[in-house]
Amino acid sequence: MTDPIRIAQGTTRTIIISGIVDSNGDPLTITGWSVRAQIRRLPDSPLLAEWVTGTPTGTQGQATASGTEVRLQVPYAMSEAWTWRVATLHVEITEPGVNGRRERITDVPIVVDPELVKES
């Protein structure tokens, strides 16, 4: 069981998925690969959050792949808008090129702690 990622609502954070390995367990360098990450309650549930490499649009966040890690930027506005509390983060990476392989690198629980301190 993977420990959940905990994020306080209304904060700026970076989610880091590190130590990515290939099928042999060797470190997999993913610099230049594309990333798509999504948060959903269940696989077929509505999308709660999404990150992409390149240029995010709408409410998407920025994802990057470098070395053996993926970084997902969670800006204040994104986490502030989250009204859900528990869901699952799914992260897939795709190798560059026409026939680039696609790998799901994690499915991890994510918990949003409600904002407790409000502006007066």
**Average pLDDT, whole number, for the chain?**
91
pLDDT in tens, 37-92: 999 999 899 999 999 999 999 899 999 999 999 999 999 999 999 999 999 999 99
Q: Per the structure block, which two tokens stand in for 115?
A: 């904002």
Confidence of residue 100 (pLDDT cuts 50, 70, 90): confident
Q: What pLDDT score does 116 carry?
A: 62
The C-alpha angle 100, 106, 111, rounded to 5 degrees, equals 140
Distance CA 20, CA 25 (A): 9
